[in-house]
A and B are shown apart, each in its own frame.
Chain A
């Protein structure tokens, strides 16, 4: 069953603008990961944030995690046309064996030149 749910489902912005995507989940987690997928390709790992962390940065990416609200956000600053892709959050549920990730349905981001 899918635990993470991204919002919005689709986002269209102009180059240079910031893009914010959100992920909500239902049960406690050990960590949360964000992945990117270009059309027709495999997923690429972007960033992992642990449950005891509140914010992480990687280049133009900023991820926040609010465990009290069971939500995370991914911010891409100064977006480029090359950022056009689908973005997925994946959670590692704390209950049960920590053996697999549960992926959301993704946010499709379009950055217009």
Chain B
């Protein structure tokens, strides 16, 4: 199993540009989570999906952020337009949801730098 695959690993973009981060969850997992990590705020849950349906997006910081999961094997997190304060490491995680005892598998993250 290749684990959770995120792309790209690094992204540098100019302020105002659109950025799309991608995630392929582990095959068979039915829950997917997007997190953001900064030194100041630590790991923050942005949004999560269950069976491809967004369940809770209360962590999405602004309307500039959007996430989709068109099928069970792919999800995107889009920032449009990007701002320097969006610079962070973005992690995707998946789990075979079985309630509060589920274990998550995280990807290696995408380091986003907005200049």
Is the pairing of A and B real?
Answer: no
